[in-house]
Homo-oligomer: A and B are copies of this chain.
Amino acid sequence: MTERSPLAPAAFPQLPSIAGVTPHVARARYKDWDRCDLTYVELDEGTVVAGVTTQSKCPSPEVEWCRDAIPLGSARALVVNAGNANAFTGHRGRAAVEAMAAKVANHLGCKPSDIFLSSTGVIGVPLPVEKAEAGLEAAFAAPACSWEDAALTIGTTDTYPKGAHVSALIGGQRVELVGIIKGSGMIAPDMATMLGYIFTDAAIDASLLQDMLSTANRQSFSCITVDSDTSTSDTVLAFATGRAGNPPLTSMDDPGADAFHAAVTDLCRQLSHLVVRDGEGASKFIEITVEGAENDASAHRIALSIANSPLVKTAIAGEDANWGRIVMAVGKAGEPADRDKLSISFGATQVATGGLAVEDYDEAPVAAHLKGQDIQVGVDLGLGNGRATVWTCDLTHGYISINADYRS
């Protein structure tokens, strides 16, 4: 991995084991590198699955495979290949996915549709099946690995491994949820994003888990953007082994369902922020909150218009309280807005209100806020009760260096 993002957490967190989940890593050597690049996670029988995938019209065959398998609701293994996205590879890419699923299903004695797969890396080169098969053999034989090893192994241009942990009480029984995720460029989730995996020992219906994941996704992964570019391979999967021994959750009315749903949302949000904090070239983590919009969806679109504006992102990189560029981004969003009711703040300081600059506002706290790593931008449209928050990073020379030099 390259130099660690300045926004990275100090260390990988302590994550508990999840009963029924056994991760392994191996070297498939998809690229000419000396690192593990194949992750194989074995799941106990009875594990249920939920997932959200990219809305791209050009998805990878792995995404298509997962889309077909998710509704069946059961899972026995997850395979993640790093270094080759296997996207836009025609029938050969599809054949590679089928071969991997068949091999793992044969190993476990289950249906191929119980096997979930993702690949990430270069687009347009079919995944070499022989390397994948040899990598799987090595993974089958390897001892269980740590979550940190698994998080490292699914990464590509990531500068640090990303994991998080939450827990919840269901009917007096504590359940654990662990998530790992990768991603730092081509991040503009459209209902789903990147490669993220959540493992829990909770007992829960697949369809209820899907509802919870879909809702959580709309409040987390769908609220982040690094560069407005949506990947062909974005996938978030949640696996529940049921080994915690809690009274199984089958509906949102069950005791503990609310707590578990909140835990899923919390975990998704933590994971999504870890991705933004590894945004390519990022030097600032930016939270943008839009209030007073006509409705929440409108607030969300305006917030994303600000978050994706290169002029706003470069201004914040330059620690410049350039609220004029925020006005511009509000104006171009195509959503209801009234210039003369607009208020804008950086941190706790309002810099513009009622359609013009606050005269003689105190620049010192604004300058101090912008020098920090965590930037808050607030916009009040003054129209209604719609509200949304999104998270992004700034746009720096680092992004250009990474992406103008990275060869396909």
Number of interface residues of A (CB under 8 A): 74
- Let me know if B231 and A56 touch, CB within 8 A: no
Closest B residue to A90 by beta carbon equals: B356
Alpha-carbon gap, A317 to B230, bound state (A) = 20
A328 closest partner in B (C-beta): B232
Q: Which residues of chain A from 236 to 262 have a CB within 8 Å of any chain B CB?
A: none
Contact of A89 among B325, B356, B403 (CB under 8 A): B356
Complex Cα spacing A215 to B321, Å: 38
A396 interface residue per 8 A CB criterion:
yes
Chain B residues near A207 (CB, 8 Å)? Answer: none
Tell me if A124 is interfacial: C-beta within 8 Å of chain B: yes
B186 touches A328 (CB 8 A): yes
A333 within 8 Å of B (CB atoms): yes
State in angstroms the CA–CA spacing of A396 and B320 once bound together. 20
User: Interface digits, A199-228 against B, CB 8 Å rule (1 contact, 0 not)?
Assistant: 000000000000000000000000000011
Q: Are B408 and A229 in contact (CB under 8 A)?
A: no
Quick one: given A57-B339, A229-B329, A408-B323, are A311 and B90 in contact (CB under 8 Å)?
no
Which of B85, B122, B229, B352 makes the CB contact (< 8 A) with A124? B352
Query: Considering residues A122, A311, A331, A408, which has the most beta carbons from chain B within 10 angstroms of its beta carbon?
Result: A331
The answer on a CB contact under 8 Å between B314 and A400 is yes
With A310-B229, A403-B315 given, is the CB distance from A57 to B324 under 8 Å? no
Interface residues of A in 292-343 (CB under 8 A from B): 308-311, 314-315, 317-318, 320-325, 327-340, 342
Contacts of A317 in B (CB 8 A): 400, 404
Residues on B with beta carbons closer than 8 Å to the beta carbon of A338: 57
In chain A between 164 and 214, which residues have their CB closer than 8 angstroms to a CB of chain B? 185-186, 188, 190
User: Once the chains bind, are B310 and A228 in contact (CB under 8 Å)?
Assistant: yes
Q: CB of A55 within 8 A of chain B?
A: yes
* Minimal beta-carbon separation of A405 from chain B (angstroms): 6
Number of this chain's copies in the assembly equals 2
- List the B side residues contacting A123 at CB < 8 Å: 324-325, 327-328
Bound complex: CA of A357 vs CA of B124, how far in Å? Answer: 6
Whether A30 sits at the interface, judged by CB under 8 Å, is no
- As a 0/1 sequence over residues 64 to 90 of chain A, the CB contacts with chain B under 8 angstroms (1 = contact) are 000000000000000000000101111
Asked if B332 and A230 make an inter-chain contact with CB atoms under 8 angstroms apart, the answer reads: yes
| Chain A residues engaging chain B, CB cutoff 8 angstroms | 54-59, 85, 87-90, 92-93, 122-126, 185-186, 188, 190, 227-232, 308-311, 314-315, 317-318, 320-325, 327-340, 342, 352, 354-357, 395-397, 399-401, 403-408
What 19 new A-B contacts, CB under 8 Å, besides A57-B333, A310-B403? A55-B334, A56-B331, A58-B330, A58-B337, A88-B327, A90-B355, A124-B324, A186-B311, A227-B311, A229-B329, A232-B331, A310-B310, A311-B403, A314-B404, A315-B403, A318-B403, A318-B405, A397-B400, A397-B401
25 contacts between A and B (CB under 8 A): A56-B328, A57-B330, A57-B333, A57-B334, A57-B336, A57-B339, A85-B324, A88-B339, A90-B354, A123-B324, A123-B327, A190-B332, A227-B311, A228-B309, A229-B311, A229-B325, A229-B328, A315-B403, A318-B407, A320-B408, A322-B407, A323-B408, A325-B408, A397-B400, A397-B401
